[in-house]
Amino acid sequence: MIIAPISDPVTKEHLNNISPDGITRFTMLQGTIKGALVSGTRLVAQARANHDLGIIESLALGQALLSAALLSTTIKEGTKLTLQVSCSGPLKGFSAETTWDGKVRGYLYNDTVKIDRPLESFDLKPFIGSGTLSVIRNDGRGEPYTGHIELVHGRIAEDLTEYFLRSEQTKTALAVSVRFDKEGRVSGAGGLFFQALPGVQDLDMEDTEDRMREMPSLGTWFASGKSRQNLLDEWFRAFELDHIHEGPVQFYCDCSRDRFLQFLAAMQKGELEQMLATGPWPMEIHCHNCGSRYQFPRDEIASLIQKNA
């Protein structure tokens, strides 16, 4: 992956001064509810830089990546999970993928949304509309498991809550937030996830959801420099937190120029000859998952043809 520079000095200084990105996993109320809290301001800022996104696009992809990061806590070691939305709204949808250890990547199906009037809010529903949500789990050993639901709310966190209830019969509460400063820079981003485990009391899950609704925006919280531990101590201390585990989260893609070169080398000779004849040069391959662009000069493609002769 090519890491695009975050060139804005104000953003760079802010990212250097706030708490680190990461995921805190925990259980509550004697192991009857599991939770995860992600701080991901750098994750969202880097994704924005790599994909060169505007505000609405950064908000949508940021929420998708934060949601995927939270769902990384629901899969086993060696497993990947992909969250996909296909929708009728201007965004058209997105794909966000996470590994079990918090490496997240993704892209929007339309990353240039046109806005014909000033935004009244940062509600994504008008940009998502109707459609479907899919959650795909792949452990690399067989066919991936895929669950689908029709979108109900047109908001990523709320529709994921519906997914777990309908597709997996599990009560879940989820919130994601991306905050921007007055100049439109990403200043804070985070997500929170709770899921009922066997033995949970309905009232306990309701109390957890009420507490989530009462707390401040996660984007605002992390923009202020506060940490994940600060939030858990201040808002969920009474819920008997236990089995706390810290882990990393980052915007990461395993693409590389060498991998794309291997892909080109495996192509048929006729396909490479067609490339050679039509250009343009240098040829550029774009990784849609992370926005990286790799260039290949004409003589390098010609060399591949000679090797395939």
Computed from CA positions of residues 146, 148, 153, 159, in that sequence, does the dihedral angle turn out positive or negative? negative
Rounded to two decimals, the pTM is: 0.95
CATH 3.90.1280.10 residue ranges for the chain: 257-308
pLDDT per residue as tens, the chain (309 positions): 999 999 999 999 999 999 999 999 999 999 999 999 999 999 999 999 999 999 999 999 999 999 999 999 999 999 999 999 999 999 999 999 999 999 999 999 999 998 766 667 789 999 999 999 999 999 888 889 999 999 999 999 999 999 999 999 999 999 999 999 999 999 999 999 999 999 999 999 999 999 999 999 999 999 999 999 999 999 999 999 998 899 999 999 999 999 999 999 999 988 999 988 888 999 999 999 999 999 999 999 999 888 876
Token readout for 75 is 């899969």
**Which residue's entry shows tokens 């662009």?**
293
Fold adopted by 257-308: CBS domain Like (3.90.1280)
CA geometry: angle 250, 18, 255, nearest 5 deg? 15
Residue 268 three-state SS: coil
Neighbour-count burial of 112, counting CB atoms closer than 10 A to its CB (0-12 exposed, 13-18 middle, 19+ buried): exposed
CATH 3.55.30.10 residue ranges for the chain: 9-251
Residue 64 three-state SS: helix
Are 97 and 107 in contact by the 8 Å Cβ rule? The answer is no
* CATH classification number, 9-251, choose in 3.50.50.60, 3.55.30.10, 3.40.50.620, 3.30.1360.120: 3.55.30.10
Token readout for 98 is 């996470």
C-alpha 68/C-alpha 120 separation (Å) is 27
Are 95 and 81 in contact by the 8 Å Cβ rule? The answer is no
